[in-house]
Amino acid sequence: MFAGMESAFDDIASALKAPQNSQGSRYSAFALKMAANLLMGFAIGLGIAIGHAVAG
């Protein structure tokens, strides 16, 4: 009676497994995150510097 349910749960579990990442994709994701953090820090620093210049 419930034999079909077990295979349905197996299908769901296999569909929800995380894909395997290669070393290259991990490196590129890390490099992209570091570049984004650097750019954000630069933008914040520039905004603070402009604020200080305007304030006198």
Question: How big is the chain, counted in residues?
Answer: 56
Question: What is the C-alpha separation between 27 and 33, in angstroms, rounded?
Answer: 10
Is residue 12 domain-resident? Answer: no
Is residue 8 domain-resident? Answer: no
Is residue 5 domain-resident? Answer: no
Task: Count CB neighbours of 21 within 10 A.
Answer: 9
Task: Count CB neighbours of 46 within 10 A.
Answer: 10
Instruction: Identify the pLDDT of residue 54.
Output: 96
Question: What is the C-alpha separation between 1 and 40, in angstroms, rounded?
Answer: 58
How many distinct structural domains can be found in the chain?
1
User: 48 is in which domain, residue-wise?
Assistant: 24-56
Instruction: Identify the pLDDT of residue 1.
Output: 47
Question: Which residue positions in the chain have pLDDT lower than 50?
Answer: 1
Is residue 11 domain-resident? Answer: no
Instruction: Identify the pLDDT of residue 14.
Output: 75
Is residue 53 domain-resident? Answer: yes
